[in-house]
Amino acid sequence: MPAAALADAAQVTLSGLATGGLYAVLMLGVILVFQVSKNINFAYGQTGMVGVFLSYFLYAVAGIPVVAALLAGLALALLVASLTDRLIIRNIPAREGFDLVVTLGELLLLTSLAQLAFGTNAQSYLKLLTNWTTVRGGVFINANDILCLLLGIAVTLGGHIVLTRTSLGTSLRASAADAAIAKSAGINVLGLRTAVWTVSGLLAWVAASLFAARLSVNAFYMTPIVINVFIAGMIGGLDRYWPPMIAAFTIALYQSWAIYLFGEAAGTPAVFILVILLLSLVPKRYLEERHEARA
């Protein structure tokens, strides 16, 4: 293979894995939330987005010091995430199948509020190392890429260790398996649940900030990203750990190769084709979801 093609391949792989690292960061939040509340939050990406937009507004428009602006944005993301659970998810009637729908309402609400408050134009965010680049063997190595990739790996391993090696992880798995039993065993299920939702806000904010540094962003920018993460979760299965995490990296890599080989336009249909193929090929047992309680 000619050196230029090899360098291209390495470039595509690196940027795909960097995106995958951020997908993994988001995926951990999706998995944790699914464990404690058995649902997904369609407004998950927007939780990070509002935080990012607030900090952008504070330092770029209002002139507040960057660190303070970042902290304020983070605080907003944490607040939105925990309130989503406290005010909405916990209070919806279980039987009606609204758990999927309400967070769509929140997605709409947060996106349109952000548009009202911050306008509809695309903005560029803090650089977060995107402007540090070196060239090694014809490959542009961007410090932000490396950061995203390392962060993704660290979060994946860290999540695994917390879930399997700590008492926190044990409590979490206990309340995921059966909240009532966990409660009677003295686990503070509700407190744990709030903590998990708050952590998901943190993860969403981290990923949203790093994505904002890589792209020029408007209020919609997290939506396609989060959709890809949900798809990875759907393929891997949200009641497992490693399969969805690996799927997060894989889907990003797959998409960046599809775009490299077939052009920018190939991104969306490539994912669609992948999903349809997987859904028809994967054994049905693998796709089994939580079912109605047995008779």
Question: Hey, what amino acid is at 194?
Answer: T
Q: Which stretch in 154-162, 187-195, 198-206, 287-295 sits in contact with other proteins by CB under 8 A?
A: 287-295
Residue 94's CB is within 10 A of a number of other CB atoms, namely 8
Asked if residue 177 binds other proteins (CB under 8 A), the reply is: no
Among residues 2, 3, 4, 294, the one that binds other proteins under rule CB under 8 A: 294
Among residues 234, 243, 246, 257, the one that binds other proteins under rule CB under 8 A: 234
How many Å apart are CA 214 and CA 295, to the nearest integer?
A: 51
Among residues 26, 28, 40, 58, the one that binds other proteins under rule CB under 8 A: 40
Q: Which stretch in 14-22, 104-112, 205-213, 244-252 sits in contact with other proteins by CB under 8 A?
A: 104-112
Do the beta carbons of residue 22 and residue 148 sit within 8 Å?
Answer: yes
Give the closest residue to 111 by CA, choosing from 259, 224, 260: 224
Asked if residue 178 binds other proteins (CB under 8 A), the reply is: no
The DSSP H or E segment spanning 123 is strand 123-124
Do the beta carbons of residue 238 and residue 31 sit within 8 Å?
Answer: yes
The residue among 9 and 227 lying less far from other proteins, judged by its C-beta, is: 227
Asked if residue 6 binds other proteins (CB under 8 A), the reply is: no
Buried b (16+ CB within 10 A) or exposed e, 258-271: bbbeeeeebbeebb
Q: How far is the CB of 209 from other proteins (least distance, A)?
A: 24
Q: How far is the CB of 282 from other proteins (least distance, A)?
A: 9
Q: Any idea what DSSP says for residue 166? A: S
Asked if residue 281 binds other proteins (CB under 8 A), the reply is: no
> 89: number of CA atoms within 13 Å, CB side?
25
Asked if residue 137 binds other proteins (CB under 8 A), the reply is: no
How many Å apart are CA 86 and CA 88, to the nearest integer?
A: 6
How many residues touch other proteins under the rule CB under 8 A: the total is: 47
Chain positions contacting other proteins, by CB under 8 A: 39-40, 88, 91-93, 95-98, 100-102, 104-113, 115-116, 223-224, 227, 230-231, 234, 238, 265, 268-269, 271-272, 275-276, 279, 284, 287, 289, 292-295
